[in-house]
Chains A and B, each alone.
Chain A
C-alpha cells in the first residue's frame, strides 16, 4: 500500500506540466455559458490541442486510438490539467467519458475506426439520449421505439434532459427494439446522427438560467442497423457498461477542482473577515477532510481497477454519493463566505451553487445510487 508514483509516472507528470505551462496561455478566452457555438469551438479546440500533443484518449486502449496509459497516469493527467486550470472536458464529456469507452469496449472494429478517432481529435461531439419524460430513474421503462425496415431502424419517441444536444453530432441512443420482451431485454444501443431528418431539439432552460440541456423529439428517424453497438436487444447490458464508466471515473477531475475552490474560499474568508467566525472556519476544515478523503478514495478505486484491469466497479456509486453531497455543501459554505454577496449572480460561486444542485440528480439520483450500493455491494434483497 503506497501513494508514491513510480519514476515513469513522475516523468509523465513532469512532461505534462511543462506542456500545459507552454500551451495554456495560447487558449482563447472562455465563451459565455449560453454561447453554444462558442462553447463547442472552445471545447473542441482544447481537445485538438490534447490530440496533437498525444494526450487525447490517454487511458483508452491503443487499438481504440488511445495511448493505453495506466489508470494512474490518467489520474495524474486529471490532477495536473485541473491544477493548471486547463479547460474541463465540457461538450466532449459524453464522447470521451462514456460513449467512447463503450464503443471501445463493445463496438466492432469498423465502429471503433469510424467513431473513436473523431472523438479524440475533437471533430465530433456526442450527447446521451437515455432519459425520457416517463423513464428517468426507471430507465428500463423507456418507450422510444425502433422498428426494423430493411437495413435501417425507424426511430420514434421523445428524449429529455439531453445535455449538449444543441451542438452534438452524434447521440448514444437507447431504443426499444422488442416491445414484447421483458423490459430489460428489448433494448438496443444505437449511434444516431443528430442532423438526420426527423430529429428536433428544443432547448430547456435550467434553474441557473442557461440552456444546459434539451428535449429531443424523434419522428421516424432512420438509423442504419450498422450503427447499433452490441447485439439487438442486448442494449441494457451495453448500457450498464456505459453507466459504470459514467459513475466510475467521470467525476474524478472535479475532486481536484473542489479542493482548489475550498482553498479559494479560505482565502476569501480571510480577506473579508469571515474567517474569524469559528463555526464557518470549522465547517471549511471539515470540508477539507471530505475532499482529501474523496481524493484518497479515488486513488483507492483507481488502484483497484489497475490491479483488476477491468471496467470500474460499483465502488463508483460509493464515490458518487459522497462526492455529490460534499460538493453541494461546498457551495453552501461558499454562500456563507460571500455573505451579502451570495445574491449576486455575477459571482462565480453563486452560479456554481446553482449548478451543484444537479449533482444529486444527474447520472443517477442519490436514491438510485443507494439502491445500487445496498443491492449490488451489500447484497440486500431487491425491493418490489
Chain B
C-alpha cells in the first residue's frame, strides 16, 4: 500500500497550479469579478488543451487516459484558485457532447429542483434526472429553450451566474454510464474543489495571522487565533484523505463521506478565515467571501449533506 501521491501525480498537480496561477491568478480573478463578463472562452479552451476535460477519456478517443485520482488533483487546484465555470459538468460530458473534451463547448448541469450555474454560456446541458442522465447538445435549440424556460437569478456567488429553470428542456440523449455514476463522480469532483478551497483559506488565515499585529504581537501568537487555524488544518487534512481515498476506490459510501467532510471543511474554514481577518474579512476586497459563497453553493450541488448522511447511514446496515 502506498497512499501518497506518485511523482507523476505531484507533477500533474504542480503543472495545474502553475497554469492556473499564470492564467487565472488573483488579478485575473478580480478582473473577472469586477467586469462581470461571462465565461472566458479563451481560458476554457486552454483548460481543454491542458487536459482538464479530456483527462479521463481513453487515449484512443483523443483523451489523456488518466483516472479519477488525477481528475481530483486538477479539481482541487481549480477550487484553490476560485476558477469559475461548469468545470465538472463539462468534464463529465467530455466524449458525449461535441467540443466538450477540447474545451470548445461549455456544458452546464441541470439537476431537478436546483438553479443552474452558467446556463447563459452553455452550449450543452447535462440533465441529471432521478434515473438516467441525458445530454442536450443542440446549440441554437438550447439557447431558444433557455430564453423560453429559464430566468436569471441574482446569484449569491458573483462568479457563478445562476438561472432558475421554469419549464422542461428537450428529452436529450442518454449518456453512457447512467445517472448514478455521473452523480457520484460529480460529487467527488465537487468535493475535490471544496478541498482545494479549504486548504487555500487555511493558508490565507495562517498568512494573515502571522502578519497582522495587535497588542504588540502577531495575532497568530494568541491562542484563540492559533486554535482556529489548527482546527482549519485538521478539517482540511481529514477531508483530503477522504477525497483521495474516494478517488482511488470510487466507492459510493466513500464518495458520500468525502463530499460531506469536504463541504464541511470548505464552509467552516472559510468562516474561520473570515474571523481571523477581522473587519478586513467582511470587505469585498478580501477574497475570503468568494471562497465562502462558492463553498455554500457547492454544498448544495451534486450531493447534499442530508443525502450523503442518509447514504452513509444506509451503508451501516
Contact = CB atoms under 8 A, between A and B. Distances in A.
Interface string A284-321: 11101110111011011011101100000001001001
B261 interface: yes
B231 to A, nearest CB: 7
Interface in A1-35: 1-6, 9
B310 to A, nearest CB: 6
A328 B52 CA distance: 42
Interface residues of B, number: 55
A281 interface: yes
Contacts of A285: 308-316
B159 to A, nearest CB: 28
Contact of B317 (A270, A369, A383): A270
Given A1-B248, A303-B1, A304-B4, A296 B241 contact: yes
A148 interface: no
A180 interface: no
A296 B233 contact: no
B63 to A, nearest CB: 20
B245 interface: yes
B309 A282 contact: yes
Contact of B230 (A296, A297, A300, A374): A374
B309 A2 contact: no
B248 A3 contact: yes
B2 interface: yes
B230 A370 contact: yes
Q: Is the interface of A mostly helix, strand, loop or mixed?
A: helix
Contacts of A369: 230
Nearest to A281: B313
A379 interface: yes
A306 B3 CA distance: 10
B241 A378 contact: no
Contacts of B239: 293
B178 interface: no
Interface in A350-379: 367, 369-371, 373-375, 377-379
Interface string B225-267: 1110111011001111110110111000110111011000000
Given A3-B249, A289-B312, A379 B238 contact: no
Interface residues of A, number: 56
A373 B313 contact: no
A12 to B, nearest CB: 12
A304 B5 CA distance: 10
Contacts of B114: none
Given A6-B1, A379-B206, A322 B310 contact: no
Contact of B2 (A286, A290, A306, A321): A306
A262 interface: yes
A335 B58 CA distance: 51
B217 interface: yes
A367 B306 CA distance: 31
B218 interface: yes
B295 to A, nearest CB: 17
Contact of A303 (B4, B217, B254, B311): B4
B210 interface: yes
Contact of B226 (A302, A304, A374): A374
Interface in A188-222: none
Nearest to B254: A292
B14 to A, nearest CB: 15
A6 B1 CA distance: 6
Nearest to B245: A296
B306 A381 contact: no
A291 B245 CA distance: 13
B105 interface: no
A289 B314 CA distance: 12
Contacts of A263: 316
A151 to B, nearest CB: 45
A68 B311 CA distance: 41
B283 interface: no
Contacts of B258: 289, 293
B185 to A, nearest CB: 17
B251 to A, nearest CB: 9
A302 B1 CA distance: 9
A114 interface: no
Contact of A1 (B2, B234, B242): B2
Contact of A293 (B2, B226, B241, B249): B241
Considering the complex of A and B, which 7 residue pairs feature the smallest CB-CB distances, nearest first?
A289-B257, A285-B313, A285-B312, A285-B309, A266-B316, A282-B309, A293-B242
21 contacts: A1-B5, A72-B1, A265-B316, A283-B309, A286-B312, A288-B312, A289-B258, A289-B260, A289-B312, A292-B242, A292-B254, A293-B241, A294-B238, A300-B241, A303-B3, A303-B4, A367-B223, A371-B227, A378-B202, A380-B209, A380-B210
Interface of B: 1-6, 9, 69, 202, 206, 209-210, 217-218, 220-223, 225-227, 229-231, 233-234, 237-242, 244-245, 247-249, 253-254, 256-258, 260-261, 306, 308-317
